[in-house]
Amino acid sequence: MVNYIWAFMAIIGIVYAMFNGTMSDVNEALFSSAQEAVQLSIGLISILVFWLGIMKIAEKANILKGLAKLFRPFIHKLFPELPKDHPAVGYILSNFTTNIFGLGSAATPIGLKAMEEMKKLSKSNVASRSMITFLALNTSSLTLIPTTVIAIRMQYGSTSPTAIVGTTIIATITSTIAAILFDRLFYHLERRK
């Protein structure tokens, strides 16, 4: 549906430009935006490759396992219906760790695998409590190092690209706490019905 909306908006814009006599401006904007998008993508790819390399080093140095052990009790409190050694727990821990380092695009496939594993447990077409909690937490995305945003700020010549780290930490901690509270609130309200 969203694709149709975007296509409809683009068609309206092009038709309006044709009748308004500004088609050359539309063409210029299309080509300059495409060029800027390619440059931005290449800049982001280099930063993501760097941080994915750092994650691989952290994995080889057992830092990720240490973080997983640190967060495991917290995960079992958030997802009490998941068996302790279920593969979904590992995917959830990997997803959270990747999000903490600001690699949301790398965390997405891991999150999808976690959802897939939780779906196998629920054996239903309705989202389970674990799936809803995971979605709420993933949406709030606790981030300590916003690598993608730092990369974009560097790409556009920011004088202090890392200045947002403090505010990012405060914002994501707040959003994560809110996600947990609202998840629990609605879960308990639903159980009372």
Tens digits of per-residue pLDDT, 106-128?
Answer: 778 888 888 988 998 887 788 88
Query: Would the pLDDT of 177 be above 90?
Result: yes
Question: How many structural domains are present in the chain?
Answer: 1
User: What does the block give as tokens for 47?
Assistant: 């930063």
Tens digits of per-residue pLDDT, 117-165?
Answer: 899 888 778 888 889 999 998 888 788 888 778 878 887 888 998 888 8
**Residue 125 burial (CB count, 10 A):** 6
Confidence at residue 178, expressed as pLDDT on a 0 to 100 scale: 93
> Cα separation of 186 and 23, whole Å?
51
CB within 8 Å of 64: residues ≥ 6 apart? 55, 58, 94, 97
> Cα separation of 59 and 159, whole Å?
32
Cα dist. 24→17, 29, 37, 111, 143 in Å?
9, 9, 20, 43, 42
Range of the domain at 111: 2-192
